[in-house]
Amino acid sequence: MSSALLVTAIVSPAVPEAAEPTALWLNPGGWVALAVLIVFALLIWKKVPGAVGRALDSKIALIRDQLEEAAALRKEAEALKAEYEAKSASIDKDREALLERARHEADDIVAKAKTDAEALIERRAKMAEDKIAAEERQAVEQLRSAAADAASKAAAKIIAERHDPATDAKLVDQAIKEISGR
């Protein structure tokens, strides 16, 4: 306390406090307590605690049911998750097998294409060689034919220049003798 207040309290004589007003022997705090007791009595008489208890029990039951439903949904979700994980693993294995099979098929196709291409090249080369050989034979035959024609023409010209009718008669007689001697 401050010194001024202390001095005032000591110097001034104590004033008796005024008496609190009462009604029916109760002060204001008593009336409030009495009102609270009456409210509690009414609440008990109207069975409010039981109603509140039943309401809380029904709310608890509802929450319990929701928790059980959530637990069931969680189990179902976990089962679905496990199923999809198994399917995913299976799909991964199938995908790997499919890729491996596709690689083998691609290798087989490439190998077959190479062998087919080599066979085609060999056939074409053989056909070209055969065609060249046929052309060579035809050219040789044409050359022989041309040479034979040229030789027969040259021989006919030489014979025509060197032989007269008497020599021809002699040659014919000689050929007849040779044929008859056989």
99 is a domain residue: yes
Q: Mean pLDDT over residues 108-134, rounded? A: 91
167 is a domain residue: no
Q: Whole-structure pTM over 0.95, yes or no?
A: no
9 is a domain residue: no
Give the Cα separation of 63 and 61 in Å (integer): 5
Domain that holds residue 41: 28-161
79 compared with 3, residue with greater pLDDT: 79
- With cut-offs at 50, 70 and 90, classify the pLDDT of residue 143: confident
pLDDT tens-digit series, residues 99-119 = 999 999 999 999 999 999 999
pLDDT value at position 27? 85
68 is a domain residue: yes
With a cut of 90, say whether residue 83 has pLDDT above it: yes
Residue 28 identity = P
- With cut-offs at 50, 70 and 90, classify the pLDDT of residue 47: confident
pLDDT tens-digit series, residues 56-74 = 999 999 999 999 999 999 9
141 is a domain residue: yes
The structural domain count of the chain equals: 1
pLDDT value at position 7? 47
16 is a domain residue: no
Q: Specify the 3-state DSSP secondary structure of 112.
A: helix
171 is a domain residue: no
Tell me the CA end-to-end span of the chain in Å, nearest whole number. 182
43 is a domain residue: yes
CA distances to 72, 103, 164 from 170, in Å: 134, 90, 10
The DSSP call for residue 26 is: B
